[in-house]
Structure 1
């Protein structure tokens, strides 16, 4: 089933406070992985508080990136 932006936004909103893993496409056969907690949800973006000390404390992602499959989101 293909999800649209409101469906994606509601799905993310339902998991506020949950552990999350985001895998981002970073170019040719490269990916960046982010593990953390979904801490904030806004109309256009969601914020993840990252667990790793070698990365910035927070990262933001757009719902459009989920729709276009630039990122993959998994809730733990």
Structure 2
């Protein structure tokens, strides 16, 4: 199902505080995987508090990355 930008924003806001997994396309058969808690949602970005003790402690993503399928978001 293809979602539009307002649907994506409301879906993210509905899941604030939930555990989240994000897989980001990093080019040519490479991906980065992030896991944590969806902590904040702003008009243009949402922020994840990462599980790992490594730096940085947060990661931010734009809603358009979901729309363009640059990232895959799964709530656990």
TM-score range relative to shorter protein:
over 0.9
**Where has structure 1 moved over 6 Å in runs of 4 or more?**
none
Task: Provide TM-score, normalisation by structure 1.
Answer: 0.96
Q: Number of residues paired by the alignment?
A: 76
Residue 2 (structure 1) shift: 1.6
Matches within 5 A, 1:7-18: 7-18=7-18
Quote the Cα distance in structure 1 between the aligned partners of 2:70 and 2:2. 15
SS state at 2:13 partner:
helix
Quote the Cα distance in structure 1 between the aligned partners of 2:58 and 2:3. 26
Consecutive unaligned residues of structure 1, counting only runs of 5 or more, are none
Matched, 1:69 2:63: no
Report the equivalent of 1:52: 52
Task: Provide TM-score, normalisation by structure 2.
Answer: 0.96
Report the equivalent of 1:36: 36
Report the RMSD for the aligned CA atoms in angstroms. Answer: 0.7
Cα displacement string for residues 31-65 of structure 1 (whole angstroms, at most 9, x for unaligned residues): 00000000000011000000012341000000000
